Amino acid sequence: MAEILLTSVINKSIEIAGNLLIQEGTHLYWLKEDIDWIQREMRHIRSYVDNAKTKEAGGDSRVKNLLKDIQQLAGDVEDLLDEFLPKIQQSNKFICCLKTVSLADEFAMEIEKIKRRVIDIDRIRTTYNIIDTDNNNDDCVLWDRRRLFLHADETEVIGLDDDFNMLQAKLLDQDLHYGVVSIVGMPGLGKTTLAKKLYRLVRDQFECSGLVYVSQQPRAGEILLGIAKEVGLTEKKRKENLEDNLRSLLKIKRYVILLDDIWDVEIWDDLKLVLPECDSKVGSRIIITSRNSNVGRYIGGEFSLHALQPLESEKSFELFTKKIFNFDDNINWANASPDLVNIGRSIVGRCGGIPLAIVVTAGMLRARERTEHAWNRVLESMGHKVQDGCAKVLALSYNDLPIASRSCFLYFGLYPEDHEIRAFDLTNMWIAEKLIVVNSGNRREAEDLAEDVLNDLVSRNLIELAKRTYNGRISSCHIHDLLHSLCVDLAKESNFFHTAHDAFGDPGNVARLRRITFYSDNVMDEFFRSNPKLEKLRVLFCFTKNPSIFSHLAHFDFKLLHTLVVVVPRYLKENVTIPSKFGNMTYLRYLRLEGDIFGKLPNSIVKLTRLETIDIDRHGFIQLPSGVWKSKQLRHLCTDYGQASNNCFSISPFYPNMYSLLPNNLQTLMWIPDKFFEPRLLHRLINLRKLGIRGVSDSTVKILSTFSPVPKVLEVLKLMFSSDPSEQINLSSYPNIVKLHLCVDRTMALKSEAFPPNLVKLTLVYFMVDRYLLAVLKTLPKLRKLKMAACRYNEKKMDLSGEANGYSFLQLEVLHIHYPKGLSEVTCTDDVSMLKLKELLLTGVDSSISLSGRLKKPSI
């Protein structure tokens, strides 16, 4: 797992190498040679480590010890970069040549020590004859249990009947595009089992058939040879000209072929040169299974995809029952106590609907007495036991990730199980920690790359999509419990992060902690009372009901801390004292305080000049001092709804203000009080993408309606009105605003007939909704999502039909009506309006609201 730390070192050296401070012409340029050596050497070592992992996985303790030495080396190099170079850069700002030269000399001496350690590691490798690379003969056939399983007789398939019926109908559909069905999903869902059942049921309807296992390390020649044998190509023709003869046969035969476990598209590019197109009149078909949805899209298109989901609870218990009783219908739960049945259901619930986990668990239980005591012991310890049973299958997906993406995947383990994680948080933390770095140093490119990594993790079905944004991007996601356990175990093994439960122990190991997460108050308090040395800590996550973490901060110097996340329940409303020592965390780049936290950030925050994100939950009440603008790197500032953050927006002669920021940095500003909003804000902050203003007045309405030139990148605008504005708001000149949120603190009419022309999502809160407002909304050409919360409908009926034989809501896909007041009927009477509507959500309503016309039953 040393490759994770090595990647971090490489990323940081890339950033440093591109820094202007070490460009030619400065007196620090001579450091570039050492930085380049670090980057070059760590790349070679990372490649070496990745190749040596096969031996480590095989149980060779010598290789394991060698990789541990490399991991410690990489950690020490990262510490060196984090500690020394910022000091050198800081001293250079004040043109203190003697101090700079002294620090640089010390840095160079440390690099020499690193070089000697690299030589010593190589000496150990050669002295003890550690054969640590994979010397497998390329001609050897990879043989594993998947090949055996693919051809073995399969037992009954449980819980996938609906999936099977849909797949069968799709496969036999004469109009199936590309003739391909792609079964995709996370590991352990039963993709191969389902595909085998489908294949065996339909193969008699085709002239020839074949099933082959592709694997992570496919060889096109072997796969084609396997297909040739399966479809009946004679031995003579297989030896003479395999590719041409196989293609000639399949061109005239109606075939069905199952390609199991495809990992990437490159092997398909080779196979399709031989396999004839399946969408011909012959009507041939291909079934594939893959953990990666993008592979299925590439081979068969979007329509080919069938994404398997975890089993529902009753289906899970049915599978568990069959496995426990070995499919013997004469033995069942009739003779079991109700308590044992309940324990069984609890055990199944812990499996999260994953068939592989259910089968592994049932196998463990079959080897034990069928008693409450024995099963309870399994229930209490099943997390690790089930994880161990599924580890090899799950680890395949992890090992297939690009090296640079592995640390991003492990980051999900920092959150508790079943936690919904915002994409905004993930991508900005990855960038803050230098897990994502681009050679150009361009922030927008880094954000795009981080988004690509997240999309890739979702496509590989390692991460589950929870919500999408107004423009189809990932808004939030979560991770299955089994994969969460995998993250925690791999992170512990690689020292990437530790949970509080496994952080105790050897003080030396504790001192090397880089990231730690707390899910429990008691464990957190106990850990900090042990007075741990946390000099290397980079990331601290606390999910707590008692925000005592702030009192602990007063006793520790987290001098290298990059990321601090504190999450408390929203009902807590706890007053906290944030110590002035908070300002000593001078490396802090990402700060998130979520929940009902009441307190004040100290003025010492002025020292935190590297802050990139300050994210205060809107439900909290955290006072921010003016010193927050001292950080020239600030990109995202999100404050609460209330008046707590007023101080930071005040213009003071003693502190910087938001107008002192570099013009191209700040991208998010939520929520600025109306009295501090001026036209020069939009002129100055040219890269502002998201803006929220609270207490909007007539003057702000006028500024927004007449501002010129219009901001080029502003995409999201949120306005909270505290009084009924006399001015009409006109946003028609903002072509880039795609998300608009308008809210008032009491019911009033919306004075606007001019919305942004490219608006995709609109949210209205507490407004009066009448036919005149609806007439305007119906004409918005790109509106896809409309949410109206706590709005009043004095006309009682909301007619969504087109106006004067015109069209209505041409692109609307989601209509969400939440806690409506006075609404009794929603109707649409024509056949040309809302043709793309997918969801009509009525929430917080009683049964008295009727739906008429062609509206379907909503989700309530």
Query: If you ran DSSP here, which 8-state letter would residue 675 be given?
Result: G
Q: What phi and psi values does residue 383 have, to the nearest 5 degrees?
A: -55, -55
- Structure-token pair, residue 422: 């915002």
Residue 636 to residues 472, 616, 659, Cα–Cα distance (Å): 22, 10, 15
Cα(748)–Cα(553) distance, integer angstroms: 46
- Structure-token pair, residue 245: 């003869």
The residue behind tokens 């690790």 is 384
Cα(190)–Cα(421) distance, integer angstroms: 27
- Closest among 204, 171, 38 to 110, alpha carbons compared: 38
Q: What angle, rounded to 10 degrees, do the helices at 242-252 and 220-231 form? A: 40
- Specify the 3-state DSSP secondary structure of 96: coil
Task: Render pLDDT for 329-363 as a digit per residue (tens, 0 to 9).
Answer: 566 677 778 888 899 999 888 888 988 888 888 88
Cα(653)–Cα(665) distance, integer angstroms: 22
- Closest among 579, 529, 590 to 557, alpha carbons compared: 579
| Parallel, antiparallel or unpaired: strands 464-468 and 474-478 | antiparallel
- Closest among 725, 681, 687 to 707, alpha carbons compared: 681
pLDDT at residue 601, rounded to an integer: 84
Cα(437)–Cα(421) distance, integer angstroms: 22
Residue 709, preceding peptide bond in cis (omega within 30° of 0): yes
- Specify the 3-state DSSP secondary structure of 662: coil
DSSP string covering 307-353: E--PPPHHHHHHHHHHHHTTT-TTS-GGGS-HHHHHHHHHHHHHTTT
The number of angstroms, rounded, from the C-alpha of 797 to the middle of its chain's C-alpha atoms is: 42
- In 666-818, where does DSSP find H-type helix? 679-684, 698-706, 771-778
Cα(158)–Cα(355) distance, integer angstroms: 9
Length of the chain: 860
Mark the ranges of the chain whose per-residue pLDDT is less than 50. Answer: 20-23, 25, 94-95, 135-143, 859-860
pLDDT at residue 299, rounded to an integer: 94
The number of angstroms, rounded, from the C-alpha of 544 to the middle of its chain's C-alpha atoms is: 22
Task: Render pLDDT for 742-761 as a digit per residue (tens, 0 to 9).
Answer: 998 888 888 777 899 999 99
pLDDT at residue 107, rounded to an integer: 81
